[in-house]
Structure 1
């Protein structure tokens, strides 16, 4: 039976906006939510330590300083293991649910096949979240109550920024485990920049991020293994003046991945992210801006 209280998270997400917008850059932390409703916890078969493996712990805190620098920060409070807003609205695995999914649901995407749809089936290394199937009505309720309002708010923020500045950059902020799966043939970098292989933002955006992070001493790669998810792909439309880029941060840089405790390196990483934010704020994001100068 569906319990509507499972979605009763107040607030489910926040748009932390500055008193005065001073740059056309929006920061977004869609996976740092850590409010786990008791109704949800009664459904799962995993303990909290395992459940939190899909959480981008403290990424919203890493970027919190952008607000006082004149740039907004969106952050989600419900956990990714409950609803993943970095997916299409209806990427759903029919094996997870009792009842028939809507005919428009995307049941065949690679993400669904891997257990990582809008309502995820697994966390970590393919560890099943739920003890039993969920009612279809509950999946649809989570999407209507949590997923869709979040995306409406994000669209409004992007549109308002675009109107005010003539352009906008969405920086989608994530973290990644330090230990790569066996299928990856190299150690994890410190940072991964994802621009959907050059399609979600102007080249100067990725070039600037890479240059700043390397100057700060980090090992940086592009698009492998993370090229950007639904948010980067969906909102990144550089031909219209809206750019989107994803940043993945190696969790070992700032936290103990077993205990989820922040380490003494957290403040330095936080400071370095503000150096990056201030550099991005100087990009000429309005259409027709001199990207060549910004990249040099």
Structure 2
């Protein structure tokens, strides 16, 4: 199976969806713990939730493999992105702290090196190619990294996560005008709570490619899953909730497109 699915668009916008994949390698599938077999830390249904970006004209990149094989939003040297609890390039624990693999069933170093070369590298090479293409065609490029997570995970954050979590690497991955536009969209509604650079400031993708000084603007959006799906197995899609959430997601993406264009 190819490591990703890519659809080119007609706008200077690339939407990256690195954590929706459920494909497993044979050794990972054989080694998963009982707690991990249902792939609980997946960004369920995110391609469906953001399908509207295709109509807008965005390019879309979707990872095929589960983060339990390799996490596409972590640096290749596996350096921690947060000082608080997190998971690494090759997750050894679930978000709740349970082991990802049964005892003695962790993939070997050689197998994981293969995942880096055959899954992680191609995904990031595609990001780089597309951003370069967009810059060459439009003079600038926009990268929107789409994520979701269960709304309550005590190991990772206290209480319930805000509904909309915008990350700009502390303001370094995009211009202030971009952030201000996203904040204005969030402030114009009162259904969903929101925060900028709270618990989720942006993972490796946002931090590595967001270079406003080089005309590449990047933002990450981490969504609380209860607003569009069930957070317990089988993680069912909930159309009514999803439609309501999309009424805010669409203006957010449109604001990014409008504010991301150089003056």
- Determine if the TM-score, normalized by the shorter chain, exceeds 0.5: yes
Counterpart check, 1:15 vs 2:45 = no
Q: Quote the residue 1:261 is aligned against.
A: 236
Q: Is the 8 A contact 1:27 1:171 kept in 2?
A: yes
Task: Give the structure 2 partner of residue 42 of structure 1.
Answer: 30
- Tell me if 1:240 matches 2:214: yes
CA distance in structure 2 between the partners assigned to 1:213 and 1:169 by the alignment: 20
- Greater CA drift, 245-254 or 277-286: 277-286
Q: Which residue of 1 aligns with 2:66?
A: 79
* Cross-structure match for 1:278: 254
CA distance in 2, matches of 1:183, 1:39: 28
Gap regions ≥5 residues in structure 1: 1-9, 92-105, 290-296
Match of 1:162 in 2: 135
- Say if 2:95 and 2:155, in contact at 8 Å, map to a contact too: no
1:109-124 aligned within 5 A: 109=80, 116-124=87-95
Q: Distance in 2 between matches of 1:134 and 1:284?
A: 41
- Report how far residue 182 of structure 1 moved: 6.2
Q: Is the 8 A contact 2:14 2:59 kept in 1?
A: yes
- The RMSD of aligned alpha carbons is 2.2
Q: Secondary structure at the match of 1:134?
A: coil
Q: Aligned to 2:16, what secondary structure does the other structure show?
A: strand
Provide Cα deviations, 1:164-194, integer angstroms capped at 9, x if missing partner.
1111111111112111416745532111111
- Structure 1 residue ranges (4+ consecutive) displaced by more than 6 angstroms after TM superposition: 110-113
Q: d(CA) in 1 for partners of 2:243 and 2:51? A: 12
Q: How far apart, in 2, do the equivalents of 1:208 and 1:200 lie?
A: 15
Rounded to whole Å, the distance in 2 between the matches of 1:115 and 1:279 is 30
Give the gaps of 5 or more residues in structure 2.
none
What's the CA shift for 1:257? Answer: 0.6
Flag the 1:185–1:116 CA change in 2: closer, same or farther, 3 A: closer
Aligned length: 258
CA contact (8 A) 1:194 1:247 kept: yes
- Per-residue Cα deviation, 1:47-92 (whole angstroms, up to 9, x for no partner): 456x52221101121112211211111111111111101111131x
Q: Shift of the alpha carbon at 1:261? A: 0.4
Instruction: Give TM-score scaled by structure 2 length.
Output: 0.90
* Aligned counterparts, 1:88-237, within 5 A: 88-91=75-78, 109=80, 116-131=87-102, 132=104, 133-181=106-154, 184-217=157-190, 218-237=192-211
**Alpha carbons of structure 1 residues 67 and 24: separation in structure 2 relative to 1, 3 Å:** same
If you compute each CA radius of gyration, which structure gives the higher value, 1 or 2?
1
Q: In the alignment, which residue of structure 2 is the partner of 1:251?
A: 225
C-alpha separation between the residues in 1 aligned to 2:94 and 2:156?
17
What is the alpha-carbon distance in structure 2 between the residues aligned to residue 11 and residue 138 of structure 1?
17
Deviation sequence 1:257-285 (CA, Å, 0-9, x none): 11200113112323432232223222352
Report the alpha carbon displacement of residue 35 of structure 1 after superposing the two structures with TM.
2.2
